Structure 1
Amino acid sequence: MSTDLSVSFDEQYININTKLKKRFMRKPNVSEATNEFIGLAIQCEHSEQPSFAGQTYIGAAKCEALAGNHLGEAEHYLSAARQFFKAEQKLSALKFYSPDRENLEAGIGCFMQALSKYPETSPIRTSIIMELASNLVSLNHKLEAVAYYEQALDTVSEGTMKLMYMRNLLNLLIDCGKFDIALQMGNTIYDSNTNIPEGILTEIQVSRVLLALLVEPDENSKPKSLKLLFTDLMNDTESEAIPFNTDLRLKLQSIVICCTVADLQSLICVAADTKQYLTTQQSELLQALISEQRPENYNH
């Protein structure tokens, strides 16, 4: 928006606020002001000025609060949050980063304001938290997103949805390099779910194997299921807990052996043949294992 348009926005915003004050905030006038704020916000959106649109949606939200319409207030805070994140994405695309994170902090704050307007038991709270987390991930603020994923998990009781959220959180923790916490999450997923679909179970178990090789947890701290996973894997025991096809099973056995004897070259060869079976995060774990085994990092 040019300087003239910026001035125009400021004038219109101030005029709406001035009219509100002059009319002593009577509810009919609050409603009128709400519509004017929304009209100005839409104008800002069409002008590709999301930060101005966000500020104006906040004005509309405050009007709804004065009128006692808390759901309307929440909706406008959500609109504001989305506009502030859109503004942040525009800056990010241009490689501009604000040390004060004005748009980012405003967007997070508006999501939290919207969240506070819904009852604790409302499923809408979960969707709001997850939308915030997804926005943070898209802007590569993955570690911040972890906290909101964890918060969302606390609001979910339905089994399939909870499993999906836990799986997403596991992968996000791997992306953040939080391998020890990721292993704990993988263990929790397996130990707390009795009916995991085979494809997801395979994914979780492969991740647990690779994470355990990386983290090297103390034997006493390993849950029984993790010990059994390695025992069954290395002994070729047929088990519902490890629904690996023969080729993947052999590759994982080789990876375990290579890590145990610190055979870097063999590990690199096995890794090249194994990646076709792995997710993006698991491939990153395998690469981390190779890095750990390099002479400069190997301390045995």
Structure 2
Amino acid sequence: MSTDLGASFNEQYMNINTKLKKRFMRKPNISEATNEFIALAIQCEHSEQPAFAGHAYVGAAKCEASAGNFLGEAEHYLSAARQFMKAEKKLKVLKFHSPDRENLEAAIGCFMQALSKYPERSPIRTSILMELADGLVSLNHKLEAVSYYEQALELVEDKTRKLMFLRNLLNLQMDCGKFDIALETANTMCDLHPNIPEDILSEVQINRVLLTLVVEPAEEDRPVSLMQLFTNLLSDNESDAIPFNTDVQLKLQSIVLSCATGDVSSLISVAADTRQYLTTQQNDLLDALLKEKRDQHLSLV
């Protein structure tokens, strides 16, 4: 690399750009500039300056674009996105507040630039969307991540992979308190995927029961499979659709009946005994149900 290692990032970055501009009368050496931007990016990475590295990778991406190498452009935009995301996570660890979200917005923009370079049905687009969504979740921007998970789902054709994505989306929607949308997702999982593994089916069916009690959808908005789930649950009918062990089934029955009768004391008692069988998201959902029923009870007193 021809630039002085002791020079500032801005000086090195501008030096590369200047060399490109000085060659406007003849074809610039795009390959040389690309390599210099990449070398600068790697130097910044080693110096633990991810934001500077991100800008250098963007410079390399623009060089590739001018040369018509769109896959190389996409690759460098992805590298830039990862560095900007790393910079945002670094700020979070240091507890620095970034109101304008400069690094995060740069990361999102670079992910979207890379995304646009691949064919519409390319599996790489799915991977990019999922990587962005996972990054947003790690930064606790869960609601923002939901839209990218949904976009990724539209591109997935493999049924097993789609089921796992739906499961992640369902948990994320529950984390965000989007219970009505989460119920729709859970219903979709059961209606479109008849051969769900038993452990996942058990988790989803518990989610459906608790979500229905919280959301209280109108009868006409409940799919047949959801109504059948409650019928089987309350009548002790044996069904492949309710693969719960006996203890879980009895606890869910008690929760449903307590809600139906408005018996808040009974609901609180059975909820305490049920928590050991539930996931973190399901326990949070149970807390939301308890709060709602307490509020309803207090409004009637």
Normalised-by-shorter TM-score class: over 0.9
Gap runs ≥5 in structure 2: none
Correspondence list, 1:116-195, <5 A: 116-195=116-195
Aligned residues: 296
Q: TM-score, normalised by structure 2?
A: 0.95
Amino acid of the residue matched to residue 73 of structure 1? E
Instruction: Give yes or no for the alignment of 1:37 onto 2:37.
Output: yes
Q: Quick one: structure 1 residues 25 and 274, their matched pair in 2 at CA, closer, same or farther if it must change by over 3 Å?
A: farther
CA-to-partner distance for each residue in 1:151-205, whole Å, 9 max, x for gaps? 0000001000000001110110000000001001111111111111111110110
1:260, distance to aligned residue in structure 2 (A): 1.5
CA-to-partner distance for each residue in 1:115-173, whole Å, 9 max, x for gaps? 00111121111000000000000001001100000000000010000000011101100
1:24, distance to aligned residue in structure 2 (A): 2.9
State the alpha-carbon separation in 1 of the partners of residues 73 and 295 from structure 2: 59
**Contact persistence 2:20–2:28 (CA under 8 A):** no
Give 3-state SS (helix, strand or coil) of 2:144's partner: helix
**Contact persistence 1:27–1:67 (CA under 8 A):** no
Identity score, percent? 72
Correspondence list, 1:33-112, <5 A: 33-112=33-112
Q: Which moved more, 1:13-22 or 1:92-101?
A: 92-101
**Contact persistence 1:80–1:107 (CA under 8 A):** yes
Alpha-carbon RMSD: 1.6
Q: Quick one: structure 1 residues 129 and 21, their matched pair in 2 at CA, closer, same or farther if it must change by over 3 Å?
A: same
State the alpha-carbon separation in 1 of the partners of residues 6 and 183 from structure 2: 51
State the alpha-carbon separation in 2 of the partners of residues 291 and 225 from structure 1: 27
**Contact persistence 2:134–2:145 (CA under 8 A):** yes
Q: Quick one: structure 1 residues 129 and 294, their matched pair in 2 at CA, closer, same or farther if it must change by over 3 Å?
A: same
Runs of 4+ in 1 over 4 A off after TM superposition: 25-28, 295-300
State the alpha-carbon separation in 2 of the partners of residues 119 and 142 from structure 1: 27
1:296, distance to aligned residue in structure 2 (A): 6.4
**Contact persistence 1:61–1:73 (CA under 8 A):** yes
Q: Quick one: structure 1 residues 106 and 261, their matched pair in 2 at CA, closer, same or farther if it must change by over 3 Å?
A: same
Q: Quick one: structure 1 residues 279 and 33, their matched pair in 2 at CA, closer, same or farther if it must change by over 3 Å?
A: same
1:295, distance to aligned residue in structure 2 (A): 4.5
**Contact persistence 2:74–2:115 (CA under 8 A):** yes
State the alpha-carbon separation in 2 of the partners of residues 60 and 279 from structure 1: 45
Q: What's 1:237 paired with?
A: 237
Q: Quick one: structure 1 residues 6 and 130, their matched pair in 2 at CA, closer, same or farther if it must change by over 3 Å?
A: farther
Q: What's 2:292 paired with?
A: 292
Amino acid of the residue matched to residue 239 of structure 2? S
Q: Quick one: structure 1 residues 32 and 251, their matched pair in 2 at CA, closer, same or farther if it must change by over 3 Å?
A: same
Instruction: Give yes or no for the alignment of 1:251 onto 2:251.
Output: yes
CA-to-partner distance for each residue in 1:43-73, whole Å, 9 max, x for gaps? 1111111111100000000011111111111
State the alpha-carbon separation in 2 of the partners of residues 40 and 49 from structure 1: 11
1:264, distance to aligned residue in structure 2 (A): 2.2
Gap runs ≥5 in structure 1: none
State the alpha-carbon separation in 2 of the partners of residues 158 and 172 from structure 1: 21
Amino acid of the residue matched to residue 272 of structure 1? A
1:21, distance to aligned residue in structure 2 (A): 1.1
Amino acid of the residue matched to residue 152 of structure 1? A
Give 3-state SS (helix, strand or coil) of 2:195's partner: coil
Give 3-state SS (helix, strand or coil) of 1:154's partner: helix
Q: Quick one: structure 1 residues 297 and 133, their matched pair in 2 at CA, closer, same or farther if it must change by over 3 Å?
A: farther
State the alpha-carbon separation in 1 of the partners of residues 231 and 285 from structure 2: 21
